[in-house]
Structure 1
Amino acid sequence: MPRWVIPLLIISSLIIILELYAFQAIKTLTRNKFIKYGWLVFGILAYVNFFYVIFSSDRTSGQTRQFQWAAGFMLLALLPKLFVLIFMFGEDVVRYIQKGISFLSSKETQPVAGRRKFISQIALGIAAIPFASLLYGIFKGKFNYKVLKYQLTFKDLPEAFDGFTITQITDIHSGSFDNKEKIQYGIDLINQQNSDVILFTGDIVNNFAKEMDPWIDMFKSLKAPSGKFSILGNHDYGDYSQWETEDDKKANFEAVKEIHPKIGFDLLLNEHRYLEKDGQKIALVGVENWGKGFKKAGDLQKASEGVYQEDFKILMTHDPTHWDLKVKEDDFNYQLTLSGHTHGLQFGIEIPGFFRWSPSQYVYKQWAGLYEEFGRYVNVNRGFGYHAFPGRVGIWPEITVIELKKA
């Protein structure tokens, strides 16, 4: 028996239970057959399409847009019903407890039809919130670009760089793009920041260099007087596809690296550059991907060869676990680190200054925004593009602008 059969049977059984509870809630509220069976048919079609795409896709194709849309509609069918399940299952538990008490005490049970209907109304009302949020995220939220601005003060910043501005973008994932007008809006928004330098912190594609071909001219139009610099992310190595030969994979990796000069970016492969202004300079250090549970091609020591400890340093590293595990306590003192990778899982709730939550925080200690420890900072950009799920809910695409100030 193939290894995937048992997990598939378990998942299918859970989906059937979920659908039965959701259908029960709908049936309690309406006798309209169109509504009742339309709800059921939508779910079945979403599940069938998702499994069809998984089992029929060519493994050499990597993650396709077809898969992303199948995953999106699967979530659209599944997630709201989880809320229904919680309420309806809870009501069942209460009902059976009451029946047990009635049986033991020889008292008649009270009618529960009215309560059942009331609980169904609450469950479906709450389930409508994630349903509407997912719809918005798929069709609008993934292009809801936000410019987040920070001002950071350092005692050891050279005076010439007081007021120096950095625009950081990350996780373009060009293979997911499907709307040139919206992407152009994002590009224009980056240029409107008029920053001194633009830094891109990895994942320019999902898997294949050719994914960037339609977008080269657009990203080539990005402008910054002090230059544009970039690094690689975990998706840039072609590790998420089955290749016919190792040579094919190597050729794709070389083609990915060649994208960067085509769009005017200086790709740093475990190396550094100095940015100079009025006779003073700061070091820009860029490493290849290094992440907990991911490729560890980054070599911080190699990238920093020729950089002095007293230099002010900006480190570009794709995965924030690198900062947490290796960088933040390094005696060489990397004052500012820029990362991406997490996307904030593209799903969560953020109320600036009050509350923020995402499933991403259970995986990454630094998952979105600015963090400081030992007087050193890391900014985890939420990403410009999107991946796997073709949308964003509550965690919007980000353009970060950081102004450096001399203390």
Structure 2
Amino acid sequence: MLRWIVFVVIYIVLGIYTLQALRTASRFPWVYYLYMLLSFLVLGNFIYQFTWGDNEGRVLSIAKSYSFGFLLAMLTFKLITMVFLFSEDMFRFLTAAYHKIFGKSKEFSFPERRRILSLIAMGIAALPFSALLYGMYKGKYNFKVLKYELEFEDLPNAFNGYQITQISDIHSGSFDNREKITYAIDLINRQKSDLLVFTGDMVNNKAEEMYPWKDLFAGLEAQDGKYSVLGNHDYGDYVNWETDAAKKENLEALKALQKDIGFNLLLNESQYLQKGNDKIALIGVENWGRGGFKKAGDLGKATAQIGENDFKILMSHDPSHWEDVVLHDKLHYHLTLSGHTHGMQFGIEIPGWVKWSPAKWRYKYWAGVYEERGQLINVNRGFGFLGYPGRVGIWPEITVITLKKKALS
């Protein structure tokens, strides 16, 4: 209860500051009343959803996600506005103190707020506010196909030009638009890749979340098959299960569901892809993540039947596994395919110019292709979304990777 009281007090204080900016910028009372109404509606809905709302055991239901999204947008607007007004208040205080101390004024009086500063503050605050709303409305389904050509000196000749489509982090429990998902599935199939891989987090928490979308994902096509691994959310670790048996049953249901969809689920296992006399090894490990995430991935077990000189593609959900374990393993993994970070679903990307997201503060390898020690990793930005029900700047991704034989100089 105390945390709710503290949060509400902070929210109200921020609201008062923003109201001061509105009063300085506008002379119409209805603007103030509308702002206060929206502010309290957003707060009230958030408190309701997280206290008396959907308690089915999911971390965030769709209703909870939207209540969080609207609160995030409102808080962002208030915080940015407050920064400008608080800075002005400090200046007003120092000005008043100066005039009082040096005898230029008998009273300690604050100068009036400057209307132009309030307008600038709210104008700047409106940008991320609008972006967050757009991210919830359209950004979350703004699917992008990102294509990479990756060269390897020891790629088997028969696999020169081999095309792989990677998707990750479906998070089907967050979906709310069947038409958009249908479009995305068609977009994946239009790539006509040889191989399709899914690198974990099919659901938020429960296998049942995928049931309404099962038929759509069963329509995914790839000539050489569809392969998958588990992500941290697939194990049901974030649900308060009544019994351990119920949790285990959920995981088995998810495994069966992946099979029904057509995915060959690799659980610390490997599979050779053959073309004539040439082959490459596809390796899939269970989730292994730094910082309290499940560490079920076992490279030794997964590669027990793999030769040291084989060309290897590893599927591992969390890129911290690549950084902490894979790069230092005795075997050389030519290409690792990961996801997990979502690129924090927020950032700024202009190809060739800028690539930034708060995700970089937590993950060294958070989106796109990286190379270390002669090994490559692609971190997919994710197909779905979780928590904040949207995406801003970091769009949902379908990765298409073409393997190329590097010409010897």
Match of 1:305 in 2: 304
Instruction: State the alpha-carbon separation in 1 of the partners of residues 30 and 266 from structure 2.
Output: 58
| 1:22 CA drift (Å) | 0.6
Aligned equivalent of 1:116, options 100, 114, 117 = 114
Shift of 1:180: 0.7
**How much has 1:398 moved relative to structure 2?**
0.2
Cα contact 1:384–1:399 (8 A) shared by 2? yes
Long gaps (5+) in structure 1: none
Are residue 6 (structure 1) and residue 5 (structure 2) matched? Answer: no
Residue 303 of structure 1 and its aligned partner are, at CA, apart by: 0.5
Contact 2:369 2:376 in 1 (8 A): yes
Shift of 1:112: 3.9
Residues 118 and 211 of structure 1: CA distance in aligned 2, closer, same or farther (over 3 Å): same
Structure 1: distance between partners of 2:104 and 2:143: 61
Question: What do residues 93-140 of structure 1 show as CA deviations (whole Å, max 9, x unaligned)?
Answer: 111111222222222499843x52111000010011012111111010
Question: Is 1:88 aligned to residue 85 of structure 2?
Answer: yes
Take 2:135 and 2:57, find their aligned partners in 1: how far apart are those partners?
A: 29
Give the drift of 1:10: 2.4
Correspondence for 1:28: 24
Which secondary structure does the structure 1 equivalent of 2:352 belong to? coil
**Where does residue 173 of structure 1 map in the other structure?**
171
Shift of 1:153: 0.6
Residue pair 1:207, 1:237 contacting (<8 A) in 2 also:
yes
More off after superposition, 115-124 vs 315-324: 115-124
TM-superposed deviation, 1:62: 3.7
Residue of structure 1 equivalent to 2:123: 125
Q: How many Å separate the matches in 2 of 1:149 and 1:59?
A: 39
Matched, 1:162 2:160: yes
Query: What is the distance in 2 between the residues matched to 1:186 and 1:323?
Result: 28
Q: Is contact 2:205–2:235 with CA below 8 Å preserved after alignment? A: yes
Kindly indicate whether the alpha-carbon contact (under 8 Å) linking 2:158 and 2:278 is maintained by their aligned counterparts in 1. Answer: yes
| 1:73 is aligned to 2:76 | no
Check conservation: 1:271, 1:286, Cα contact below 8 A: yes
Contact 2:168 2:380 in 1 (8 A): yes
CA displacement at 1:59 relative to structure 2: 5.8
Letter in 2 for 1:46: V
The separation in 2 between residues aligned to 1:186 and 1:248, in whole angstroms, is 32
Letter matched to residue 335 of structure 1: H
Q: Is the 8 A contact 1:190 1:222 kept in 2?
A: yes
Q: Equivalents in 2 of 1:121, 1:301: separation in Å?
A: 61
* Corresponding residue pairs, total: 402
Equivalent residue letter for 2:403:
L
Structure 2 counterpart SS, 1:73 = helix
CA offsets 1:163-216 (integer angstroms, 9 cap, x no match): 001100000011111111100111111011111100000000111111111111
Does the 8 Å CA contact 1:165/1:195 hold for their aligned counterparts? yes
Equivalent residues in 2 for 1:119-268 (5 A)? 119-268=117-266
What is the letter of the counterpart of residue 227 of structure 1?
A: G
Bigger mean CA deviation after superposition, 221-230 or 6-15: 6-15
Secondary structure (helix, strand or coil) at the match of 1:370 reads strand
Aligned partners of 2:381 and 2:395 also within 8 Å:
yes
What TM-score, normalized to structure 2?
A: 0.96
Residue identity matched to 2:195: V
1:397 positional shift? 0.2
Asked whether the 8 Å contact 2:271–2:281 carries over to 1, the reply is yes
Q: Please say if residues 62 and 242 of structure 1, whose CA atoms lie closer than 8 Å, have aligned partners that are also in contact.
A: no
**Contact 1:59–1:241 under 8 Å retained in 2:** no
CA distance in 2, matches of 1:354, 1:207: 37
Whether contact under 8 Å (2:96, 2:111) holds in the other structure is no
Aligned partner of 1:292 among 287, 290, 293:
290
Q: Which amino acid aligns with 1:355?
A: V
Q: Percent identity?
A: 53
Q: Does the aligned pair in 2 maintain the 1:260–1:266 contact within 8 Å? A: yes
Aligned equivalent of 1:54: 50
Match of 1:271 in 2: 269
Aligned-residue offset at 1:330: 2.1
Residue 42 of structure 1: aligned partner: 38
1:338–1:379 Cα contact (<8 Å) kept = yes
Matches within 5 A, 1:320-399: 320-399=319-398
**Alpha-carbon distance in structure 2 between the residues aligned to 1:168 and 1:122:** 43
Instruction: Give the CA RMSD over aligned residues.
Output: 1.4
In the TM superposition, what whole-angstrom CA distance separates every residue of 1:149-173 from its partner, at most 9, and x where no partner exists? 1111111111111100110000001
